[in-house]
Structure 1
Amino acid sequence: MLWSKLSASAENDYIDFKREWYSKDKLGEVDLVHDILCMSNSLSDSPDRYIIFGVDEDKITKAKSFYDVSKDKNCRQSADIIQTLRNYMSVIPNIELIREQTDSGYIDIIKIMPVARELPYVLNKECQAQKPDGKKVTVRKEWIYSRNSDRNTPKDECCTKAELEELFARKRGEHLPILERFSMYLDDIHNWKHPKSEYEIAESETAYYYSLNHKFKIVRSNRDLDKTISLLLANSYDELLTDTCIGVDYWNYRNTQNYCYDDCINLFNVELWADNTLIEVFNITGMFIKHFNYDRYYGSYYVPNRMHLIESDITINNSSDIEKLLVWKICKLLFHFNLYDGCNLVTGDASRILEILNYNYLQNPSEYRKQNEDWLYQPIKSK
């Protein structure tokens, strides 16, 4: 349960306790928008932020009192919260509403998951309400609100200059370890620039630059290709598909007239550079197979139909997870398009796959079988 992880914490830069839900009038809407805006732009190192209803914290002793929100007539659904935000914001953070049971009753948790490159979150139109005394309360359009420690920026103020500078530093990923920063930039795949032709680059390398920060680049060294070619007999269709999806050169080579099925597989290195410093070298083919595609039981490599879920399934717990996510994102970049829904490689239709890969000489249905919604190719051995 999420509450078991948060219960020992006092209010801070990523946790805010509320005794009860916001009222459903305009004043409540203003408070809701303001609190979520501040949490989204918080300077916390926590990737997720939480507004917790049904918990009241004593400001001095930090003791907590609980109030069952199942009896709160102002409870909202996640769809209501998201729609309210969309009424005032063109870009909103990811939002999830969670209800959990404690020994003292139910609590509601708004989980806010901001995306660093979207910072800072702002309103594109004012959110305003009137108090009973006639005074107006306004969350301003295009003002930047934040949260520092357990304090929100007041509605009638902007965040400080120091907070603003820190927000933009986080937008650039400057708070992240270098490999996680690469991973963040690779999420923004459309801002990676690669040469239009081989004549625009040095013969020794193929480089991709992040257009929003030219100090970050990914280099494929063509000089290493001859040294890293390994002759290998591909014994399953999926082995072919695996290599196809990670090697642009090999994709082109396989579609040439003289391609031979039992030919070689390119094992190439990719270098990650930042500020003219070599950060890491990945053997892409080997790492892709290591992390994703080897089926020990069948002794074959395959690309699963759940390909579009791979990134969401990866949880960063250690350096191996970071490597796994990076390798996947680099493969997407090198292949020039996302391997997602609608992509030619995301299909269980063997005939469609053959059409894509142009393997006319392999179109024999008797040599295919379906296993776990994936097509495996088993060539018929000659007698």
Structure 2
Amino acid sequence: MHYRELQELINLKHEGGYWDFKREWHHSKTDLLHDIICMANNLENRDAYIIIGVDEDNDFLACDISNDANRRNTQKLTDFLKDKKFAGGIRPLVHVETFMIDNASVDVIVVENSKNTPFFLTEKYDGVFPHQIYTRVQETNTPTTSSADINHIEYLWKKRFHLLDSPIEKFSFYLSDCKNWIEMPNEYVQYYKTNPEYVIEIENDDRDGYEYYLFNQTDPRPHWSTIRLKYYNTVLIEYSGIALDGGRYFSIAPRKKIISYNRNDFICFCYFTKDSLEYRVHEFYYRSKYEGSDESIAHRRFMESILIFETGNQLNEFMRYVKPIFKEYSCTKRHLVPHINLPSGYKDDAFQKDWTVFFKLSELYEQFISSLSD
């Protein structure tokens, strides 16, 4: 959650289908569990927020909760849910974020969006009943003694079985089932076994441009292609594909991000975010073709040359973290630039600079990730 989003919700001065205000942390564990389940089963198909430290009865003013005896952090909240008997053993994913609003600490329980709806208990916990499906309609939670309306329950089951997904969302889901993709004899076309209208098509690309991460391979020569994700004959999206180490290992090319200081002063790096479709494609090729094989060495060297983020939000946070300190930062470890052997007409200066930038960013990335757990 971003500060601006929180401020916007407070300024609305009412609750809604995916956010709720509490003046203080729950005294009752029953109420806390019920609120989390309702938010996990929200009908907005998005992350939901239980905002603690806002008094809706007093013009939605912020109330400092830093000394609240019932306050919980992410670990305590996760532990609280761990021993509850959820159906299938699948529990809502939650974390706590803290913000300063008008000099007051405000906590937000972020209930992460999930396809595993509906969440419900199989054993009673105090006043939360088993096999009752709770949800949230506008600003109202389903009472603990009731179950949601049948149309809302149907919606939540459809969400679990991906019946509400767009074709591109279904593509992402099917890619996780790599064993059920059938490869055509020419090896350039694959289709999903149970839904053959979903097709992956590869076409060779004649370009010969180099990227710095190629030089971390035994054979750095580039072999580019175009990856097309198709639904029937409609191209849903196209990506650049790259065959690494002389064609022994194939993957989608990573994305690039620029941190700009001014018009002629910027740094560039390559990355994946794990919540992206690009990363699903990358994982699909690795798991279906190379995992456990000799080619996994090329995969490891590839992954050592780029940055991996959990989410797009984490990527943006990292860029904000890095920008003010990058220029003055000196590497604490000794890094060796891979051997760069280029054909005539190329200069290796740019690639050496790319590696120097990457080494600094990789160290700063480790520090950034460490700071998140502090």
TM-score range, shorter chain: 0.5 to 0.7
TM-score, normalisation: structure 2: 0.63
Determine if contact 1:120/1:167 at 8 Å carries over to the other structure. yes
Structure 1 position 80, deviation (Å): 1.4
Structure 1 position 336, deviation (Å): 2.7
Note if 1:272 corresponds to 2:227. Answer: no
The amino acid across from 2:341 in the alignment is P
Counterpart in 2 of 1:230? 206
Change (3 A) 1:36 1:263: closer
CA–CA separation in structure 1 for the residues paired with 2:94 and 2:289? 25
CA–CA separation in structure 2 for the residues paired with 1:179 and 1:348? 26
What is the correspondence of 1:126-275 to structure 2 with a 5 Å cutoff?
126-128=124-126, 137=127, 139-186=128-175, 189-190=176-177, 193-195=180-182, 201=184, 203=186, 206-209=189-192, 214=195, 217-220=198-201, 224=203, 228=204, 230=206, 232=208, 238-239=213-214, 265=223, 267-273=225-231
User: What is the CA deviation profile of residues 95-151 of structure 1, one whole-angstrom value per residue up to 9, with x for unaligned ones?
Assistant: 1112222226222211111222x22222243211xxxxxxxx2x1233321111111
User: What is the CA deviation profile of residues 205-226 of structure 1, one whole-angstrom value per residue up to 9, with x for unaligned ones?
Assistant: 5324175xx26623225xx5xx
Determine if contact 1:230/1:264 at 8 Å carries over to the other structure. no
Note if 1:79 corresponds to 2:63. Answer: no
How many residues are aligned here? Answer: 288
CA–CA separation in structure 1 for the residues paired with 2:229 and 2:162? 20
Structure 1 position 29, deviation (Å): 1.3
The amino acid across from 2:74 in the alignment is S
Determine if contact 1:238/1:303 at 8 Å carries over to the other structure. no
CA–CA separation in structure 1 for the residues paired with 2:131 and 2:335? 49
Change (3 A) 1:333 1:114: same
Note if 1:14 corresponds to 2:18. Answer: yes
The amino acid across from 1:267 in the alignment is S
The amino acid across from 1:193 in the alignment is N
Counterpart in 1 of 2:310? none
Residue 291 of structure 1 is aligned with which of 231, 251, 255? 255
Residue 284 of structure 2 is aligned with which of 333, 336, 361? 333
Structure 1 position 34, deviation (Å): 0.8
CA–CA separation in structure 2 for the residues paired with 1:63 and 1:237? 56
Note if 1:103 corresponds to 2:86. Answer: no
CA–CA separation in structure 1 for the residues paired with 2:161 and 2:336? 39
Change (3 A) 1:64 1:285: same
Residue 120 of structure 1 is aligned with which of 118, 122, 131? 118
* Larger relative contact order, structure 1 or 2 (CA cutoff 8 Å, min sep 6): 1
TM-score, normalisation: structure 1: 0.62
The amino acid across from 1:39 in the alignment is M
The amino acid across from 2:140 in the alignment is R
CA–CA separation in structure 2 for the residues paired with 1:216 and 1:375? 45
Larger Rg: 1
CA–CA separation in structure 1 for the residues paired with 2:108 and 2:167? 32
Give the secondary structure class of the aligned counterpart of 1:379.
Answer: coil
Counterpart in 2 of 1:245? none
The amino acid across from 1:217 in the alignment is Y
Determine if contact 2:210/2:222 at 8 Å carries over to the other structure. no
Determine if contact 2:52/2:108 at 8 Å carries over to the other structure. yes
Counterpart in 2 of 1:246? none
Change (3 A) 1:202 1:21: same
| Unaligned residue ranges in structure 1 (runs of 5+) | 129-136, 243-253, 255-260, 295-301, 315-324, 351-370
| Unaligned residue ranges in structure 2 (runs of 5+) | 243-250, 259-267, 305-332, 345-374
